[in-house]
Structure formats: structure tokens, C-alpha cells
Amino acid sequence: MGKMKVGVYYNNKDVRVEYREIPEIGDREILVRVRACGICGSDVMEWYRIKKAPRVLGHEMTGDIAKIGKEVKDFKVGDRVFVSHHVPCNSCRYCLRGDHTLCDTLHSTNFDPGGFSEYVRIPEINVRTGTFLLPDEISYDEGVFIEPLACVIRGFRIAEIKPNQTIAVIGSGIAGLLQIKLARAWGAKKIIAVDINDYRLRKAKEFGADLTLNASEDVPRRIMEENDGYLADTVILSAGVKSAFIQALKCVDRGGTLLLFAPLPPDVDIPVNVFDVWNRQIKIVSTYAGAPRDIREAIEILKSRKIRVDDMITHRLSLNEIQKGFELVAEAQESLKVVIYP
């Protein structure tokens, strides 16, 4: 087949452009030419990624089908597609009760190599349950938001977020900003964004937050001042740091919900006052990834323009510039979504 360029992750400061053979596909597989792939915040979580380095990352991927196996019936060469890297089996006890992202298959599936390459081989199970036609209304660029938006949609469902609630988002990176946009479209009464970065807080305001607060302020008190004396109905933790978790818990109103969206490193333990959680009757729920139903919903939301995402792309880089892209995302200063064009 010939050679292709790939971006290989060794650590956040060492992402190399290397050459590999273009993958051969089986009869039930497809080969996708990657058109755009976003760098996700999880791609730069070094404690998470370094365990499997070196590897080709990239899972927010759109492209065209370059080749199909002879038994593939649902797609044709030239189709524009979004492909999900993690797909559920749909038959285990977790899938059958709707907890698809707890499925062992979902945690073990992936494409070959990752989206930061010119071509990817899509295994049969991903062709069957993880490959979606990209509607004409969604550009390749906008399509890189399908996966992160699906994660956000799943979180909203798990936290049972309803219209007319006060929602506080702790951490205004890409996920937090998508949560703000979705909360606005969902019909939230009041949206409060918290971060340590002024650039991100300005973006949060631009994207629909009613109130933006620096994390160094007395955030619970400020929420109550702006919200008729009440704390937030739902608080979403979108910053994987201990201080943010402690702050988030203090911002939840009685009977409210704390959604753990961003994970904290596995070696971090936090003392929690269980009496306080019990006394205020707070629900703490967590979410990971998105399943096919969340992806379909994300595609519909983007197709119908319920929320806009093209205004979140701050950097467009070639594969040769992937190191710069990883540094931008890891530094988390004046960048939002960084898109790589293999």
C-alpha cells in the first residue's frame, strides 16, 4: 500500500512525525483517509497517556472512506464519515441496562493506528456500530466535535439536567464550554462558569454563561448572591484537580447533583464530609465517554445548528506541527480546540 505519516506520542513534549505502512484491511473493514482530527484534553493527561506510549493518539476524527472490504455493504468509497474509536458490544449486562460506557468491549476497542495519521483502518466492530455518515450540513472541522459533544450529552442525561435549572460548570476548557453551550440550548435558567484562566472565562461569557467567576473567589457565596440565595441545582466538575472538586461540592444546592465529568488522577484521595453530603441530600454521579445513541444525538444537534462549534476552533495545524498542537492544549492558555489536518 505504501507509506503514510503519523504523529507518535511519547509524552506531551515529545510528539514525533514518523512513517508507517498504510494498514491493510480485511473483508469487513474499511480504510479511512483522515481529513481532520481534534486534540482532546485527555490526549494531554500525561498520567493517563504515558502508560501506553509510544502510540498514535487521536479519536476526534472525520474523513473519507478510501477503501472498503468486499463484505462491507453499508458504506461506499468516498463517503464522508465520523468514526467512534470506542464501541460497545451491546450484549453484556452493562450494555443491556444502558450503561454502554462500562462495557469491557468499549474499553478495549480502537482504530489502527489513531486519528493523528493519514489513514486509519477501522476494525469490523467499529464499522458495524461506530461508523456514522457525516451529513452535508456538518463540515469535517465541525465533525471533530461529535465525540466530545456526545460525552457531554451523556453527562447531561446521567445528571438528569432539566430546563430552567441553575448550572455551574467548574472548569471552562473545551468540555466546560461545550457544557455551557448545551446548557444554553437545553434551556437553563442560569449558567455560571468557573476557571482560573481569564481567556477561558471571556470565552465562557461569549458562549452563553450568565456569570463568570475566577476560582480564587468565594464561588459558593457569589453563586448565592446571583441566584436568589440558592446554590446551583447541578454542578459539573470539568477540571481534573483536587481543589476544583472540593469547590464543586460546596456549590451544590440541597437536593442537587454533582456530575463528575473530568477524572482526577487515580492516586488522588479526597476527604469528603459524608455528613454534609447526606444532610444536603446531594447526588454525586459520574460519566465517561459516549455511546452510539449519544453520538447520534450529537450529530443531530450539530446538523440542526442547535449549537455552533466552529467558533471554538482556535488553531488549525498540519500533522508536521502536531508537537506545537500538543503544547498548546497542555498549556491551556489562549487556545480552545486545536485541529490537526493529516
Q: How confident is the model at residue 53 (pLDDT cuts 50, 70, 90)?
A: confident
Strand partners, 235: 168, 258
DSSP 187: T
Instruction: Indicate if 7 and 140 belong to the same structural domain.
Output: yes
Flag whether 155 is in a domain.
no
In the predicted structure, residue 219 carries a pLDDT above the cut 90 = yes
Overall domain count for the chain: 2
Phi, psi of 263 (to 5 degrees): -80, 150
Of the residues 286, 303, 325, the one at which a domain ends: 286
Flag whether 312 is in a domain.
yes
Of the residues 268, 286, 304, the one at which a domain ends: 286
Higher model confidence: residue 331 or residue 145? 145
The span from the CA of 61 to the CA of 114, in Å, is 9
Output the pLDDT for position 52. Answer: 85
In this prediction, residues 37-46 reach a mean pLDDT of 88
In the predicted structure, residue 226 carries a pLDDT above the cut 80 = yes
In the predicted structure, residue 264 carries a pLDDT above the cut 90 = yes
Instruction: Indicate if 7 and 141 belong to the same structural domain.
Output: yes
Instruction: Indicate if 119 and 31 belong to the same structural domain.
Output: yes
Higher model confidence: residue 67 or residue 44? 67
Flag whether 226 is in a domain.
yes
Instruction: Indicate if 104 and 169 belong to the same structural domain.
Output: no
Hey, what's the cell of 251? 456549590
Instruction: Indicate if 298 and 279 belong to the same structural domain.
Output: no
Output the pLDDT for position 192. Answer: 98
Instruction: Indicate if 166 and 299 belong to the same structural domain.
Output: no
Output the pLDDT for position 257. Answer: 98
HSE (side-chain half, CA atoms, 13 Å) at 101: 17
Instruction: Indicate if 86 and 190 belong to the same structural domain.
Output: no
Output the pLDDT for position 51. Answer: 84
Instruction: Indicate if 101 and 185 belong to the same structural domain.
Output: no
Flag whether 154 is in a domain.
no
Q: How confident is the model at residue 41 (pLDDT cuts 50, 70, 90)?
A: confident
Q: What is the pLDDT of residues 80-118, one digit of tens each?
A: 999 999 999 999 999 999 999 999 999 999 999 999 999
Hey, what's the cell of 340? 490537526
First-to-last CA distance in the chain?
17
Flag whether 335 is in a domain.
yes
The span from the CA of 146 to the CA of 61, in Å, is 9
In the predicted structure, residue 47 carries a pLDDT above the cut 80 = no
In this prediction, residues 310-331 reach a mean pLDDT of 94
Q: How many CB atoms lie within 10 A of CB 145?
A: 29
Q: How many CB atoms lie within 10 A of CB 104?
A: 12
Instruction: Indicate if 28 and 63 belong to the same structural domain.
Output: yes
Output the pLDDT for position 233. Answer: 98
In this prediction, residues 193-201 reach a mean pLDDT of 96
Instruction: Indicate if 319 and 260 belong to the same structural domain.
Output: no
CB 115 within 8 A of CB 59: yes
- Domain hosting 320: range is 3-145+294-341
Of the residues 286, 304, 327, the one at which a domain ends: 286
Q: How confident is the model at residue 324 (pLDDT cuts 50, 70, 90)?
A: very high
Flag whether 47 is in a domain.
yes
CB 276 within 8 A of CB 252: no
Percentage helix, strand, coil for the chain under 3-state DSSP, each rounded to 5? 35, 25, 40
Output the pLDDT for position 332. Answer: 83
Instruction: Indicate if 230 and 300 belong to the same structural domain.
Output: no
Among residues of the chain, what percentage have pLDDT more than 90? 94
Q: What is the pLDDT of residues 148-191, one digit of tens each?
A: 999 999 999 999 999 999 999 999 999 999 999 999 999 999 99
Output the pLDDT for position 241. Answer: 94
CATH of the domain at 200: 3.40.50.720
Instruction: Indicate if 240 and 275 belong to the same structural domain.
Output: yes
Q: How confident is the model at residue 30 (pLDDT cuts 50, 70, 90)?
A: very high
CATH of the domain at 74: 3.90.180.10
Flag whether 151 is in a domain.
no
Helix (H, G, I), strand (E, B) or coil at 255: strand
In this prediction, residues 219-227 reach a mean pLDDT of 97
* CB-based burial label for 159 (10 Å; 0-12, 13-18, 19+): buried
Flag whether 152 is in a domain.
no
Among residues of the chain, what percentage have pLDDT more than 70? 100
